[in-house]
Amino acid sequence: MSAAQQAGPASSHGNDHWNAIDWRAVERTVRGLQVRITKAVLEKDWRRVKALQRFLSRSFAGRAMAVRRVTENRGRDTPGIDGELWSTPIGKYGAIDRLKQRRGYQPKPLRRVYIPKANGKKRPLGIPTMLDRAMQALHLLGLIPVAESTGDANSYGFRPMRSTADAAEQCFKVLSGHANCARWVLEGDIEGCFDNIDHDWLLAHVPMDKDVLRKWLTSGVVDMGQFRPTTAGTPQGGIISPTLANFALDGLEKALTDRFGRKGTRKGNRNKVNLVRYADDFIVTGCSKELLETEVQPLVRAFLAERGLRLSAEKTRITHIDQGFDFLGWNVRKYGGKILIKPARKNVKAFVTKVREIIQQHKAVAQTFLIMQLNPVIRGWANYHRSQVASEIFHTVDRVVWYLLYRWAKRRHPNKSSRWVLEKYFRQINGRSWYFATERISADGRKVGMPLVRASDFKIKRHVKIISDANPFDPAWDDYFAKRRHDNLLATHGHKGEFTALFKRQQGLCLRCQSPLTAESGWHVHHVQRRIDGGSDKLDNKALLHKVCHVQHHHPLSVTLPVPNKDLAEA
């Protein structure tokens, strides 16, 4: 029984309201406004951009989306300084209303918490309240289409539909090829980028409601009961912060091409200056060390200085491509004239350390439980690297992990033989080598193997880079992105046989509303005939529904609330 059904009659009304929201209409409305903002940006009609942003931030659809976003994401169980969480449908529905406040809006200071770091030190984090998070999510809806239309083409971090793998492919693209491509790389490292961005610069340049932005920037922090003002940097822990940082760093690509020429022009081909950026992590290629040292670096420094930022003296380096450099957990290096991108040594080491720690922390648990702890970690790591030259390292890592687990098993049975331990904890799967594996009983009563996944089970698959100029809010690119969403989802969830089979059978569409299933929308495996009514657990009784469609399917009593008409009217 769901929480909504358990609640008494007095509260069921509010529950119905949240559960009855027509999310497809909400998404359509928000999307429609974002498309119109994009059109206005491309036409440089900034007055219209502002009007549409204001309209979106006041709309029911925008407010509902913002509440959904902050109550579905990972931080939803961590309260801000007011201790408030929006965990019930009533709380969520009420929050939509509270986002109406504008003039009187005053963000609360951040709650300071400390996260232990690997080196024993502690990293400070700032946690905004739910209301402030939702307010940021709301304004971000109107800001992100502007960011997507004006951002640097080769910036890949914290942007919809872009990933680290895209950034790596771009490195490959600008560094590989014939003998006359760029050989030198400036590895940029900005000192505490998020903490130091100049407030006046942001207020002067970020196209959004300035009053609200100013309030966020200066909301301050409460640390051990003490209030401290914030004087620089983006709002910590805020959903909008990465986008604000992107705004601050966008324009560097243009500054570089204006000075050193665009790829494909004679000047550009001579200097070979290309920027690849992921949030505050970036590289700039160049034809010589001198060019990077005496011309590119000063330009980058001046660009950053305007925004209150500095390059770190010790971490900013100029490297020859035969020596290689680390970027986003990978090592990019030329071997005998060929660029290879492999998992960086540091990254591999950190991964093995993490696996070792998990094994050590679970000395006495059931094998099944240990496997359940390790599988997502191994899967996540392997998925991250599978687009690169990783197969050798995958095999090495598998051997190391195998040995750690063998020792784990052996220690539990000091008086048993190695053979006995092997046969108890390991299984030969498909006639192949010994997997660390156990058995579980499947839903239909069969015994099925439950092995530890191996990195080398992941086939290396070249990532297809996003087209640098593609804009997810410009309808001209709709088909392109629909295909990419479809392919990405299959690639990241390919290990789930059931999901893949259903997804293909439904051609990637939700069975209830017939619109595409995406990573953002999430999904639920739905039993067509309910299990209690004798429905089977086999594939032919299952279907994929959006999460929100699934909730609505099980609340047939609710009447779908129409999105208020004024949302659909012209702004």
Q: Which parts of this chain interact with Zn ion (CB under 5 A)?
A: 510, 512-513, 546, 549
Contact in structure between 181 and 226 (CB atoms under 8 Å): no
Amino acid at 560: T
DSSP state of 181: S
Closer Cβ to Zn ion, 127 or 549, answer by number: 549
Closer Cβ to Zn ion, 22 or 281, answer by number: 22
Residue in this structure with the two tokens 């992105």, named with its chain if needed: 481
Closer Cβ to Zn ion, 268 or 516, answer by number: 516
Q: Give me the least distance between CB of 386 and Zn ion, in Å please.
A: 30
Q: Give me the least distance between CB of 524 and Zn ion, in Å please.
A: 10
| Spatial separation of the C-alpha atoms in residues 333 and 341, rounded to whole Å | 7
Closer Cβ to Zn ion, 341 or 549, answer by number: 549
Amino acid at 159: R
Q: Give me the least distance between CB of 515 and Zn ion, in Å please.
A: 6
| Kind and range of the H or E run holding 111 | strand 110-116
| Spatial separation of the C-alpha atoms in residues 189 and 567, rounded to whole Å | 44
| Spatial separation of the C-alpha atoms in residues 239 and 158, rounded to whole Å | 10
| Spatial separation of the C-alpha atoms in residues 186 and 200, rounded to whole Å | 29
Q: Give me the least distance between CB of 248 and Zn ion, in Å please.
A: 37
Amino acid at 160: P
Q: Give me the least distance between CB of 548 and Zn ion, in Å please.
A: 7
Closer Cβ to Zn ion, 489 or 549, answer by number: 549
Considering all CA atoms of the chain, what is the largest pairwise distance in Å, rounded to the nearest integer?
A: 79
Q: Which two tokens stand for residue 68?
A: 């959904």
Closer Cβ to Zn ion, 88 or 506, answer by number: 506
Residue with smallest beta-carbon separation from Zn ion: 510
Q: Give me the least distance between CB of 109 and Zn ion, in Å please.
A: 39
Closer Cβ to Zn ion, 63 or 546, answer by number: 546
Task: Sort 537 into a burial class: Cβ within 10 Å, 0-12 / 13-18 / 19+.
Answer: middle
- Report how far apart, in Å, the C-alpha atoms of 33 and of each of 148, 150, 211 are: 14, 17, 22
| Spatial separation of the C-alpha atoms in residues 282 and 152, rounded to whole Å | 12
Q: Give me the least distance between CB of 552 and Zn ion, in Å please.
A: 9
Closer Cβ to Zn ion, 407 or 504, answer by number: 504
Q: Give me the least distance between CB of 27 and Zn ion, in Å please.
A: 10
Q: Which two tokens stand for residue 171?
A: 């490195």
Ranges of beta strands (E only) in 368-479 are 426-428, 434-441, 447-451
